[in-house]
DNA sequence: ACAAATGATACCAATAAGGTATCATTATGG
DNA sequence: CCATAATGATACCTTATTGGTATCATTTGT
């Protein structure tokens, strides 16, 4: 049961770091040093976030990344969608015609419910909330 | 976000089927016909369930599988553990010394909370509850 | 011009998911 | 007592996903 992958985790950490730098454009090498994430991997991640409209980028010397959205609008659920694909609820293995007994569909209902709740909670976690809860000191 | 894998799903369906047969020993070919699960795959699954003490098996003609536990004691959470490995909460990617800011650990806390809740709900789903909710008619 | 940054993209290795196949063993019915 | 119908153990295979790496092109500040 691995709710989020490394991609998503790294992305969230990077976004938190960037958010804490306010309007400063943050280059990848700086994040690599601060977060200990393999450089090429982090580069790919932030590039994706750029394409997805979560980060804005600037090239050249002094370039880097900054948030394209307000910290309270960057939700964990969005990152999960971006890096782990669209969340497929209710994809019945037996395509509804076969489903041999009611019990199995009860199973689907249960699991869908659990996933739905998890999603709702992922939706509530934003980088604003993480930074706030963190009470960081540096 | 795929909470349960096919293994677990198939296992749960097979267990429901077996539970509905009461004390009858159910052979794999019968389950294959009823549940449309690839035979060798289902065989592997029920064998595992046997080793794990969820099913009891008998060999030879007239042999097959039956529940080793009461239906209300077979929990979805157990099957997830069996087929998807022990649930590892709180495995921090950065082994606690590095963790560069409080925000990241707030992230872990959030995710752990969500996973913990999901687990608790998986624990509540039993074969007994599925069969009961299903109100099957055949 | 040069250095420092991102953009795009292709590639690669390890792991897990999903499934197949084979041979040995055990029990039952005739 | 042997054929048959079942499970036990185990090895293998294929595909997708995860977790990266590497390369070259482009942009921009000094």
Which nucleotide is closest, CA of B38 to its C1'? C19
Q: Is the CB of B71 under 7 A from strand D?
A: no
- Give the pLDDT of residue A27: 98
Alpha-carbon gap: B111 to the closest alpha carbon of chain A (Å):
8
Asked if the Cβ of residue A63 lies within 7 A of any atom of strand D, the reply is yes
Domains of chain B: 6-86+126-134 (1.10.10.10)
Q: CB neighbours (10 Å) of residue B60?
A: 6
Nearest Cα residue in chain A from B81: A1
State the nearest residue by CA to the C1' of D4: B61
> What averages of pLDDT result for each successive group of 10 residues across chain B (138 residues)?
90 96 96 94 98 97 97 97 74 48 74 92 96 60
Give, for all 138 residues of chain A, the pLDDT tens digit: 788 999 999 999 999 999 999 999 999 999 999 999 999 999 999 999 999 999 999 999 999 999 999 999 999 999 999 999 866 544 555 444 445 555 557 898 899 899 999 999 999 999 999 998 765 444
Q: In chain A, pLDDT over 90 holds for what percent of residues? A: 72
Q: Answer yes or no: do A117 and B119 touch at CB < 8 A.
A: no
Q: What is the pTM of this model?
A: 0.88
Contacts of B70 (CB under 8 A, 6+ apart): B128
Tokens of A84: 């782990």
Contact (CB<8Å) A111/B138: no
């Amino acid at each position: 049961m691995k709710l989020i992958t490394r991609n998503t985790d790294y992305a969230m950490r990077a976004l938190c770091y960037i958010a804490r730098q306010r309007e400063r454009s943050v280059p990848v090498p700086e994040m690599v040093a601060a977060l200990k994430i393999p450089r090429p991997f982090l580069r790919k991640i932030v590039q994706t976030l750029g394409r997805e409209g979560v980060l804005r980028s600037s090239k050249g010397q002094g370039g880097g990344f900054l948030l394209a959205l307000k910290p309270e609008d960057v939700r964990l659920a969005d990152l999960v969608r971006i890096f782990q694909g669209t969340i497929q609820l209710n994809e019945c293995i037996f395509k509804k015609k076969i489903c041999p007994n009611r019990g199995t569909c009860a199973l689907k209902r249960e699991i869908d419910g659990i996933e739905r709740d998890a999603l709702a909670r992922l939706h509530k976690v934003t980088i604003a909330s993480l930074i706030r809860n963190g009470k960081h000191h540096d």
